[in-house]
């Protein structure tokens, strides 16, 4: 009886298993995107597609109105390039005193200034570090307002004494460690003595000190602007200068040496200001000068675009009439009934390829020189970003935007996800909708503005290498 019962249980398990298998098998389908579509009439079903659109016009532009004060770093040097012309960097830097060893006696009675040591810490450099460049140090003779905004084209010559305090020579591969003696120049000697003779009230507060001593302006000498040397990135937090003085101690009948350091740091809790001045001169550079800032629809787009850091040349993109026609023509590909369909942009990826480097420059060298990431702005001067490039969120919250924008080093291109921008543009073409601005600036990522970088980009009107937009979209009747 027990054997018969066991056999009946085995049979029941087998029948249940076969029933479940039949249900599962019957429920399978090779179509995984049909949920709900059987309820939509054939004439109302949406169309899904991925297409590539070209006819994105590129132009060259450059603006000097990029804020450049209180960066934490500054730049000095001069370079020359067959493509990018001349880049000259100079710096206006203010300084505040440190603490005296003897707060009561300070520099002592009747001090004599002997020398001053400049120690400017170089983070990095680009260019030829074997070539020396000559510099002048000027005294700033007008107040610099701390909470104002200053730009790379700041007219430093309007706020400095005409005669330099000091002069020196420097190679970019080294830190700026410059010792200048009072005997080197009469203006320098007089300046050092004023530092030593300043009353205690000047040294008691940074604001009082800065009202008396407005800062320095350091720049390559004019005759060296034809020298292809290097550009140095200088950390102000790690930079300082030290004044050395002595006084005669009547009690010991000996000279006593007193020194005091002054700091260039323009950090959050400092009252001093720094302004980085950068000049780009593209005169005679056939790839850039004839096309610079010709960005009207009637102007000819360039076949090679450029993006440069340090407020240099950038690329100006126009998604113009032909681009609009190409996008709107996508509807016709899906047959009758889609001519007036609404277009929903699921994803829009802008792909921009690097120009192939010319020997002896290699791909690796070209990528190492290139900015690692691009930003996109409606207005570069005001840092008005497109909605997808919400760089402020990254700065405040961390993480990485879907926007991407990074250089793909395996395939030599940049890719930007600009879905929201393109969706607003497409929607703006429809009657009754607000038109979206159809021009944008392609620039270094905002965090890379004040670094060393430059890259050539492909932007031919036709053929291989065109800038392209890869669209994933849905057409809704």
Q: What's the whole-number average pLDDT of the chain? A: 91
pLDDT higher than 50, residue 26:
no
- Helix/strand/coil percent split, the chain, to 5: 25, 40, 40
Handedness of CA 297, 300, 306, 308 (dihedral sign): negative
**pLDDT-derived band at 15, boundaries 50, 70, 90:** very low
Residue percentage of the chain with pLDDT more than 90? 83
3-state secondary structure of 263: strand
Q: What pLDDT is attached to residue 252?
A: 83
Q: Residue ranges of the domains in the chain?
A: 47-62+284-476, 73-281
Residues 127, 131: Cα–Cα separation, whole Å: 9
Q: What pLDDT is attached to residue 337?
A: 85
3-state secondary structure of 282: coil
Residues 247, 193: Cα–Cα separation, whole Å: 12
**pLDDT-derived band at 193, boundaries 50, 70, 90:** very high
3-state secondary structure of 288: coil
E strand or H helix at 32 = none
Residues 57, 459: Cα–Cα separation, whole Å: 8
Residues 237, 211: Cα–Cα separation, whole Å: 22
- Residue pLDDT, tens place only, 393-435: 999 998 889 999 999 999 999 999 999 999 999 999 998 899 9
Helices (H), 289-440: 321-328, 363-369, 391-397, 419-428
- Residue pLDDT, tens place only, 240-253: 999 999 999 888 88
- Read off the pLDDT of each residue in 457-464 and give the average, rounded to a whole number: 94
Q: What pLDDT is attached to residue 398?
A: 87
**pLDDT-derived band at 8, boundaries 50, 70, 90:** very low
- Residue pLDDT, tens place only, 37-52: 555 555 568 999 999 9
pLDDT higher than 70, residue 336:
yes
Q: Which of 88-92, 179-183, 346-350 has the lowest mean pLDDT?
A: 179-183
pLDDT higher than 60, residue 54:
yes
pLDDT higher than 80, residue 267:
no
Q: What pLDDT is attached to residue 22?
A: 42
pLDDT higher than 70, residue 14:
no
3-state secondary structure of 231: strand
Q: What pLDDT is attached to residue 137?
A: 98
Choice between 267 and 259, residue whose per-residue pLDDT is larger: 259
Q: Which of 149-163, 255-269, 421-435 has the lowest mean pLDDT?
A: 255-269
Q: What pLDDT is attached to residue 301?
A: 97
* CA terminus-to-terminus distance, the chain: 70
Contact yes or no for 122/198 (Cβ under 8 A): no
- If we measure between CA atoms, which residue out of 260, 229, 250 comes closest to residue 107? 260
- Adjacent-strand bridge partners of 376: 442
The 10 Å Cβ neighbour count of residue 196 is 21
Contact yes or no for 175/168 (Cβ under 8 A): no
* Residues with Cβ within 8 Å of residue 217, at least 6 apart in sequence: 90, 91, 92, 137, 138, 139, 140, 156, 159, 160
Which of the 8 DSSP states describes residue 301?
P
CA distances from 195 to 3, 16, 111, 137, 307 (A): 111, 99, 10, 16, 44
- Residue pLDDT, tens place only, 218-233: 999 999 999 999 999 9
Q: What pLDDT is attached to residue 335?
A: 87
pLDDT higher than 60, residue 35:
no
**Whole-model pTM?**
0.87
Handedness of CA 27, 31, 33, 37 (dihedral sign): negative
- Read off the pLDDT of each residue in 387-391 and give the average, rounded to a whole number: 97
């Amino acid at each position: 009886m027990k054997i018969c019962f066991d056999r009946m249980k085995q049979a029941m398990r087998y029948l249940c298993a076969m029933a479940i298998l039949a249900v599962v098998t019957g429920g399978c389908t090779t179509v995984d995107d049909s949920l709900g579509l059987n309820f939509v009439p054939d004439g109302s079903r949406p169309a899904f597609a991925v297409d590539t659109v070209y006819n994105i016009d590129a132009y060259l532009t450059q603006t000097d109105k990029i804020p450049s004060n209180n960066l934490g770093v500054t730049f000095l040097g001069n370079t020359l390039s067959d493509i990018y012309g001349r880049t000259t960097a100079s710096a206006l830097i203010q300084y505040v005193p440190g603490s005296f060893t003897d707060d009561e006696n300070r520099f002592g009675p009747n001090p004599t200034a002997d020398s001053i040591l400049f120690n400017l810490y170089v983070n990095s450099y680009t260019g030829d570090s074997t070539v020396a460049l000559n510099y002048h140090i000027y005294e700033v003779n007008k107040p610099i307002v701390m909470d104002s905004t200053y730009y790379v084209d700041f007219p430093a010559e309007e706020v400095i004494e005409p005669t330099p305090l000091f002069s020196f020579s420097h190679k970019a591969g080294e830190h700026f460690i410059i010792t200048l003696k009072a005997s080197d120049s009469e203006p320098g000697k007089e300046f050092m003595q004023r530092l030593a003779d300043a009353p205690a009230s000047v040294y008691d507060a940074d604001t009082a000190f800065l009202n008396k001593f407005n800062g320095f302006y350091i720049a390559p000498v004019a005759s060296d602007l034809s020298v292809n040397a290097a550009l140095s990135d200088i950390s102000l937090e790690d930079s300082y200068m030290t004044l050395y003085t002595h006084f005669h101690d009547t009690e010991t009948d000996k000279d006593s040496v007193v020194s005091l350091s002054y700091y260039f740091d323009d950090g959050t809790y400092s009252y001093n200001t720094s302004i980085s001045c950068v000049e780009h001169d593209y005169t005679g550079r056939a790839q850039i000068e004839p096309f610079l800032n010709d960005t009207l629809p009637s102007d000819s787009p360039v076949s090679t675009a450029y993006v440069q850091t340090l407020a240099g040349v950038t690329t100006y993109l126009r998604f113009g009439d032909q681009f609009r026609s190409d996008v709107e023509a996508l509807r016709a590909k899906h047959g009758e009934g889609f001519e007036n369909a609404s277009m929903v942009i699921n994803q829009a990826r802008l792909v921009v390829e690097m120009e192939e480097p010319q020997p002896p420059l290699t791909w690796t060298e070209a990528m190492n020189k290139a900015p690692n990431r691009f930003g996109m702005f409606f207005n570069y001067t005001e840092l008005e970003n497109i909605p997808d490039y919400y760089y402020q969120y990254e700065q405040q919250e961390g993480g990485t935007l879907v926007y991407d924008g990074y250089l793909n080093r395996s395939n030599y291109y940049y890719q930007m996800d600009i879905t929201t921008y393109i969706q607003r543009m497409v929607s703006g073409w429809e009657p009754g909708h607000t038109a979206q601005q159809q021009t944008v600036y392609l620039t270094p990522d905002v965090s890379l503005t004040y670094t060393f970088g430059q890259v050539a980009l492909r932007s031919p009107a036709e053929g291989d290498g065109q800038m392209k937009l890869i669209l994933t979209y849905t057409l809704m009747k």
